[in-house]
Amino acid sequence: MYVEAKGLSASVGVDVDTMYGQILRRMPLEENDARFALVVPVESRRSVLRVNSRVRGLLRLEVYTVDANGRVERVD
């Protein structure tokens, strides 16, 4: 599994866009069974979901949020 994670910042939207670019550049063409995930604070959920679910599905990108207590939740 390839994972990109971002923390809280003043420029959440820009950071999320950067994160998408970083994970896309790291996607290996030769690994058909690879999984990919984006991990963000729960406060960034809205920004990370700006890329619609169909596109994320085609790219096999999973999204996870982490709350202040460390609880991780997969977002569909």
What pLDDT does residue 19 have? Answer: 95
Instruction: Say which amino acid occupies 40.
Output: V
Which structural domain, as residue segments, surrounds residue 65? 2-75
The pTM (predicted TM-score) of the whole model is: 0.90
What pLDDT does residue 32 have? Answer: 85
What pLDDT does residue 46 have? Answer: 95
Locate 43 and state its tokens. 């406060």
Residue 53's CATH number: 3.30.750
| CB-side neighbour CA atoms (13 Å) of 4 | 18
pLDDT, tens only, 17-45: 999 999 999 999 888 889 999 999 999 99
Number of structural domains (the chain) is 1
C-alpha gyration radius of the chain: 12
Cα separations (Å) of 50 from 12, 23, 34, 47? Answer: 12, 16, 23, 5
Beta bridge mates, 73: 65
Residue 76 has pLDDT above 90, yes or no: no
Kindly state the percentage of the chain with pLDDT values over 90: 89
